Amino acid sequence: MQYEHQPVLLGQSVEALITDPEGVYVDVTFGGGGHSAEILNRLSPGGKLFAFDRDPVVEANLISDPRLVLIRSDFRFMQKYLRYYGISQVDGILADLGVSSHHFDEAERGFSFQSDAPLDMRMNPEQELTADQILQQYSEEKLKKVLAEYGEITNAGPLAERWVRERKAVRIRTCAAFADWLSPFVYGKRQRYLAQVFQALRIEVNGELESLKMLLEQSGHIIRKGGRLVVISYHSLEDRIVKNFLKGVSEVESAENPFGTAQKLFKQLNKEVMIPGEEETEMNSRSRSAKMRVGEKRIG
């Protein structure tokens, strides 16, 4: 199955990433290979690129280039794999977060509330936990927490209470059927509300925010002084975590500041987030929510 994905902020992100064409770089979200291909285009023959992705489908997009190593794993294990290859420091890390167009377009993956597919939402189809298991097995309190924190759903309490009370009777197993069941709880625009609910389930299924926190923490150790960290995020939860990490927020560890450190490892190179231009958003509507932050390592 071909993996289709249009890379967002392609030129801007790779331009910000590469400081040394002879350096070692990491693309932690290989996907369709768009960012990786552009990185390789800008590297010299002595450069090296390690790419990560947990979805086995991406292997269909493997680029034939001796400078590229594709590692089929969640990027939360980045440092461990780089050590295996004898790499202790890199010149830059690029992360294009969230769900690719491929995941939404392949209806059977269960990411879209318009799909009649099972409630799946796994980026790695080999893992065990699915959205259906969350809905069928989580307690009312745990489900409420997922919806409130990851979807920012203000009526998460009543929703979770009714779902847990009715779930054995309604026997809902598909995305579209669950979206229909949610209708009485919708406030504001229906599409936005459903997107927030499905986002919450997807984040929980894939441990997305935990992976992001682990990636950022490791990046502080392995990016060399003067190297770059480039992160493209698609919702406020991700962007807030990245922003606080780059700021070196010195508060006690919390959901918004998981690092609890006063040491500012990176200098933010763009005080205002970079967003796609009008031409890009017209060509790729899914790029509209993208925000890019760039940090330069200031401590060796």
**Would you list the domain boundaries of the chain?**
10-102+209-297, 108-206
User: Which letter does DSSP use for residue 251 in this model?
Assistant: S
Q: Which of 151, 136, 234, 142 is nearest to 200 (CA)?
A: 151
Task: State how far the Cα of 267 lies from the Cα of 286, in Å rounded to an integer.
Answer: 29
Q: What tens digit of pLDDT does each residue of 165-202 get?
A: 999 999 898 999 999 999 999 999 999 999 999 999 99
Contacts of 62 (CB under 8 A, 6+ apart): 33, 70
Task: State how far the Cα of 179 lies from the Cα of 289, in Å rounded to an integer.
Answer: 22
Q: What is the CATH number of domain 10-102+209-297?
A: 3.40.50.150
DSSP 106-137: SGGG---TT--SBS---SSTTSS--HHHHHHH
Task: State how far the Cα of 120 lies from the Cα of 128, in Å rounded to an integer.
Answer: 10
Per-residue pLDDT of the chain (300 residues; tens, 9 = 90+): 444 557 999 999 999 999 999 999 999 999 989 999 999 999 999 999 999 999 888 888 889 999 999 999 999 999 999 999 999 999 999 999 976 544 444 555 656 888 889 999 998 888 999 999 999 999 999 999 999 999 999 999 999 999 999 999 998 989 999 999 999 999 999 999 999 999 999 999 999 999 999 999 999 999 999 999 999 999 999 999 999 999 886 443 555 555 555 568 999 998 889 999 999 988 888 788 999 999 999 987
Which residue type does 53 have?
Answer: D
Q: What tens digit of pLDDT does each residue of 138-158 get?
A: 999 999 999 999 999 999 999
DSSP 187-229: -S-HHHHHHHHHHHHHHHHHTHHHHHHHHHHHHHHHEEEEEEE
Match 């990851």 to its residue by tokens: 150
What are 25's strand-pairing partners?
A: 49, 92
Between CA 152 and CA 141, with CA 183 as vertex, the angle to 5 degrees is 45
DSSP 59-75: GGG----TTEEEE-S-G
DSSP 71-99: E-S-GGGHHHHHHHTT---EEEEEEE-S-
Strands 223-233 and 90-96: parallel
One fold for both 10-102+209-297 and 108-206? no
- For residues 66, 69, 70, 72, the Cα torsion angle rounded to the nearest 10 degrees is 140
Question: DSSP 3-state assignment of 150?
Answer: helix
Q: Which of 157, 168, 241, 172 is nearest to 203 (CA)?
A: 241
Task: State how far the Cα of 184 lies from the Cα of 164, in Å rounded to an integer.
Answer: 15
Q: Which CATH superfamily is domain 108-206 in?
A: Putative methyltransferase TM0872, insert domain (1.10.150.170)
Task: State how far the Cα of 92 lies from the Cα of 153, in Å rounded to an integer.
Answer: 36
